[in-house]
Amino acid sequence: MKPLIPAYGASSLADLSSSLLAAVGMEGDNPLGLAPAERVVLFLVDGMGAELLRAHPRTAPFLSAQPGRVLTAGFPATTVTSLGSLGTGVPPGEHGMLGYQLAVPGAGYLLNCLRWTAPGPPVDPDLWQPAPTVYERATAAGIPISYVGPAKFETSGFNRAVYRGVGFVGADTVDERIEGVRRALAEPRAHVSVYYGDLDSTGHVEGWGTEPWLAQLALVDLMAERLAETLPPGSAMYVTADHGMVNVTERVDVDAVPALREGVALLGGETRVRHVYAAPGAADAVLDIWRDILAGTAWVVSREEAVESGWFGPRVRPEWLPRIGDVLAVPYTDCAIVASVAEPIESSFIGCHGALTPAEQYVPLLEVSAR
């Protein structure tokens, strides 16, 4: 089985933001060829992979009836990286949000990029992700651009890194988000993003395709239909996701296999994409050990191999290279590489994501038009 390399520059999440801005009249590239619209809404459903949605048309009849296509999420197929791509309009190798947990170069510890927590001094999100965001560029061009989502996210370091410059609208319930979108659409040329995360969190705990997950998918479908009803004439809504998901049936526990800890200084990433940071001089030995133990289960490559293969995009900025593990381990079977002692909660997850498989990489791009 070969890795599904994201289609950067042609049909990836990194190509969506500039296309949406071009649709409302901002100068720039439109790689997805989106049609002009007076206003656009982007409905981002965390964890709603294209294959997952396709498997349940009866649960999501509204979404399943809409025209659309499939995009690739980017690598890793995880919220941190995908929202980084959407927020900057460039591939991961350019924006540097290269995974869930990354080494802070030279510090000897990990930054949890989603929670924005680290055991050392605070990490400045403006320095960690310095690229101008699409929201800053839109504001400078006079396009009203807003984000509607849970109020607790507004002041987070992660939001600062990827949503810098957006007009944030705190909205916790579905009704509040519908109303937030409706109000934001009152502005001419408005670009509105609205986020829903409970499908992903339910999938982590229960697994995708389960009854609790299906109940969440039905709610998402109803929310999409209600959002469509808010669209003024001449507007368009696009529905997408940040990644898909697999239900794991096997776990390799790094904390129960001593050989997998030999020569390892830090274990980053998450259960479907492991950044393995080797102790000085141990990178080659760690690569050999991980390849041997995970043979038939995961792609295990060096940092150089991953970069040269284009996993993170056509280019990785030199200053971001130390954030990438010396070794990357990416399962292609339904396996999770867990750390039961260090990460007890994440190690219990049933639904996981991040890897280079179709179930995790493919996300829908559906269009609902009010023309």
How many structural domains comprise the chain? 2
- Domain annotation covers residue 4: no
Q: Is 148 a domain residue?
A: yes
Same domain flag for 279 and 154: no
Residues 330 and 186 in one domain: no
Determine the pLDDT at residue 1. Answer: 83
- Residue pLDDT tens, the chain, 371 long: 899 999 999 999 999 999 999 999 999 999 999 999 999 999 999 999 999 999 999 999 999 999 999 999 999 999 999 999 999 999 999 999 999 999 999 999 999 999 999 999 999 999 999 999 999 999 999 999 999 999 999 999 999 999 999 999 999 999 999 999 999 999 999 999 999 999 999 999 999 999 999 999 999 999 999 999 999 999 999 999 999 999 999 999 999 999 999 999 999 999 999 999 999 999 999 999 999 999 999 999 999 999 999 999 999 999 999 999 999 999 999 999 999 999 999 999 999 999 999 999 999 999 999 86
> Do 262 and 169 share a domain, yes or no?
no
The verdict on residue 3 lying in a domain is: no
d(CA 101, CA 10): 28
Q: Does one domain contain both 219 and 340? A: no
Report the CATH number at residue 338. Answer: 3.30.1360.180
Residue 324 in any domain: the answer is: yes
> In terms of DSSP H, where are the helices of 55-104?
61-64, 79-88, 92-95
| Domain-embedded: residue 192 | yes
Q: Residue 340: inside a domain, yes or no? A: yes
Q: Which domain does 191 fall in, by range?
A: 13-245+356-370
One domain for residues 225 and 173: yes
Per-residue pLDDT, 287? 98
pTM over 0.85: yes
159, 187: one domain = yes
Q: Are residues 275 and 208 in the same domain?
A: no
My answer on whether 137 and 171 are in the same domain is yes
Note whether 236 and 303 are same-domain residues: no
Whether residue 147 is found in the same domain as residue 196? yes
Indicate if 66 and 161 belong to the same structural domain: yes
What is the DSSP code (8-state) at residue 213? Answer: H
* Same domain? 191 vs 280: no
Q: Judge whether 7 lies within some domain.
A: no
- CATH code of the domain covering residue 87: 3.40.720.10
Long-range contacts of 163-166 (CB under 8 A, 24+ apart): 163/83, 163/87, 163/133, 163/135, 164/87, 164/125, 164/126, 164/133, 164/135, 164/136, 165/133, 165/135, 165/136, 165/137, 165/138, 165/139, 166/133, 166/135, 166/193
Is residue 165 in some structural domain?
A: yes
Strands 191-196, 39-45: pairing kind? parallel
* Nearest Cα residue to 337 out of 310, 355, 356: 355
